[in-house]
């Protein structure tokens, strides 16, 4: 991915390979910062204690199928909460088609945002 295109990807989930090598497993992280001097991207790994790692631009794949973690300017994404309680089978009530994997009677919340146009 060209470095110029990365500015619009700040705050997005991306698959990336740490470092500059072309081998190794892709990881999922949030694109935090582009360093123009070093020509590298910094990623946050929330599932690993919010560690930060870097990647070369050639090893970055934006995940347009996932919602943004935050806006390119660093502000939270505007969202409205929807609260539900799971039924006897662990499904969200009243939307029986969504299974949460949680025990019956668990209160759950999800954040709903507006659609984002991808050009």
CATH of the domain at 14: 2.30.30
Q: So what's the pLDDT on residue 9? A: 86
Q: Is the entire prediction scored with pTM above 0.85?
A: no
Tell me if 38 is assigned to some domain. yes
Distance (Å, whole) CA 118 – CA 68? 12
Whether 68 is in a domain gets the answer no
With a pLDDT cut of 70, the percent of the chain lying above it is: 86
Residue 26: inside a domain: yes
Q: How far is CA 23 from CA 3, 26, 58, 118, in A?
A: 20, 9, 12, 29
Is residue 96 over pLDDT 60?
no
Whether residues 7 and 58 share a domain: the answer is yes
Indicate if 58 and 86 belong to the same structural domain: no
Backbone angles phi, psi at 114, to 5 degrees: -75, 160
Please indicate whether residue 14 or residue 97 has the higher confidence score (pLDDT). Answer: 14
For residue 1, what are the contacts with CB-CB under 8 A and spacing of at least 6? 9, 57, 58, 60, 61, 62
DSSP label of 69: S
Residue 16's Cβ-side half-sphere holds a number of Cα atoms within 13 Å equal to 28
Q: Is there a domain that residue 92 lies in?
A: yes
Which residue has better confidence, 36 or 44?
A: 44
User: Does a structural domain hold residue 74?
Assistant: no
pLDDT of residue 97: 58
Q: Which domain holds residue 11?
A: 3-62
Residues 21 and 55 in one domain: yes
The count of structural domains within the chain is: 2
């Amino acid at each position: 991915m060209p470095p110029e295109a990365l500015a619009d990807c700040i705050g997005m989930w991306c698959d990336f390979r740490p470092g500059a090598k072309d081998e190794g497993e892709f990881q999922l992280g949030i694109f935090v910062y582009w360093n123009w001097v070093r020509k590298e991207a910094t990623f946050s790994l929330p599932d690993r204690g919010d560690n930060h790692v870097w990647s070369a631009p050639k090893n970055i794949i934006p995940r347009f199928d996932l919602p943004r973690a935050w806006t390119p300017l660093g502000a939270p994404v505007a969202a409205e909460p929807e609260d539900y309680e799971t039924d006897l089978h662990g499904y969200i009530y009243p939307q029986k088609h969504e299974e949460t994997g949680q025990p019956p009677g668990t209160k759950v919340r999800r954040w709903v945002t507006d659609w984002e146009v991808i050009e």
